[in-house]
């Protein structure tokens, strides 16, 4: 893609039309209206002069402490082919050899009276160079500060995907024997906002130019991309209605258009035109189907690795 002749879509804010925008530089850029009616400036110029906060995908869920669920989750996050390093509220570094790891897991998963649930927290920062151990400790420290509790937790950094991420299990009883309960605000916004700010404080921001390059590198990926998540968010926000399992979606820019075109390879989209405006019939469960495609691809890759390892022996 040639950045010099591409445009950054601003939306349809009438007050911007014909005005010039100053972007931390003596040079200002004129906002124009494109053929679709959206307001744009030269994307290459804009990209060099603006920044974006790195994202940090945060997932916090809870499970019942009964029925061996915790031990099963602990075994999953510490699997040999997944775990890169493990550490906890009780131990700075946990040796990954089988005997020591088993001792650490048994100690962590000990019976705690009155515990009803445990929590699963996943952090996946967009910045690839993130020190996940330090980042995790900062996030835990933030949660403890909000809760005014010292938590019991176990973390395992994973190496099984290209995206850096870490799994943390938090016990439902704190170090003083008190019940742990998280507010909806903490789950929905608090942890997520703090995690993003921690990345920004340590590593700065991402330039728009770098962001566009990253998004364009995801156009033909057979997994869930940042573009897909943005489309999903826009659909939820707009409250678009379903028709036979499909949503009529009009791409907001060239990147979305290219991605939706690619998803047609899996039957997830069908292009259409309405009043000369291009749109796509998008499967309402396209994220779920992409996840299945991704898991299938990971399974095939895993089988190939095992065959190679057997061949070396």
**Sequence-ordered list of residues with C-beta below 8 angstroms from that of 186, at least 6 positions apart, any chain:** 143, 146, 147
pLDDT, position 281: 93
- Alpha-carbon dihedral angle through residues 263, 266, 268, 271, given to the nearest 10 degrees: 60
DSSP 100: H
pLDDT, position 68: 81
Q: Which domains does the chain have, with CATH numbers?
A: 3-52 (no CATH), 56-203 (3.30.930.30), 219-288 (no CATH)
pLDDT, position 120: 95
d(CA 292, CA 195): 28
Q: Are 225 and 218 in contact (CB under 8 A)?
A: yes
**Sequence-ordered list of residues with C-beta below 8 angstroms from that of 260, at least 6 positions apart, any chain:** 231, 249, 251, 269, 271, 280, 282
Query: Residues of the chain whose pLDDT is less than 50?
Result: 1-31, 33-49
Radius of gyration in angstroms for the set of CA atoms belonging to the chain, rounded to a whole number: 23
The proportion of the chain whose per-residue pLDDT surpasses 90, expressed as a percent, equals 40
Tokens representing 92?
Answer: 């700075």
Tell me the per-residue pLDDT of 45-72, one tens digit each, with 9 for 90 and over. 444 445 667 888 899 998 888 768 888 9
d(CA 35, CA 176): 64
Q: How far is CA 73 from the centre of its chain?
A: 20
d(CA 144, CA 192): 15
């Amino acid at each position: 893609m040639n950045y010099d002749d591409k445009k950054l879509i601003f939306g349809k804010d009438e007050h911007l039309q014909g005005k010039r925008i100053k972007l931390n530089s003596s040079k200002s850029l004129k906002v124009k209206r494109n053929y679709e009616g959206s307001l744009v400036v030269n994307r290459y110029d804009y990209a060099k002069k603006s920044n974006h906060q790195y994202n940090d995908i945060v997932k916090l869920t809870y499970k019942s402490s009964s029925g061996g669920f915790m031990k099963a989750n602990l075994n999953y996050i510490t699997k040999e082919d997944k775990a890169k390093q493990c550490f906890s509220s009780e131990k700075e570094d946990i040796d990954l050899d089988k005997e020591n790891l088993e001792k650490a897991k048994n100690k962590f998963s000990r019976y705690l009276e009155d515990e009803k649930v445990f929590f699963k927290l996943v952090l996946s920062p967009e910045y690839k160079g993130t020190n996940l151990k330090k980042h995790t400790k900062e996030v835990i420290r933030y949660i403890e500060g909000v809760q005014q509790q010292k938590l019991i937790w176990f973390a395992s950094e994973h190496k099984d995907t290209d995206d850096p991420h870490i799994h943390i299990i938090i016990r439902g009883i704190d170090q003083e024997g008190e019940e742990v309960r998280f507010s909806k605000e903490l789950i929905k916004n608090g942890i997520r906002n703090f995690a993003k700010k921690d990345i920004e404080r340590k590593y700065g921001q991402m330039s728009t130019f770098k962001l566009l390059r990253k998004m364009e590198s995801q156009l033909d990926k057979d997994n869930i991309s940042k573009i897909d998540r943005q489309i999903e968010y826009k659909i939820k926000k707009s409250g678009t209605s379903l028709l036979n399992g499909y949503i009529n979606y009009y791409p907001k820019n060239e990147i979305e258009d290219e991605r939706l075109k690619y998803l047609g390879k899996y039957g997830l989209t069908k292009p259409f035109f309405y009043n000369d405006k291009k749109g796509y019939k998008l499967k309402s469960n396209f994220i779920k189907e992409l996840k299945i495609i991704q898991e299938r691809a990971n399974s095939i890759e895993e089988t190939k690795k095992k065959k190679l390892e057997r061949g070396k022996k």
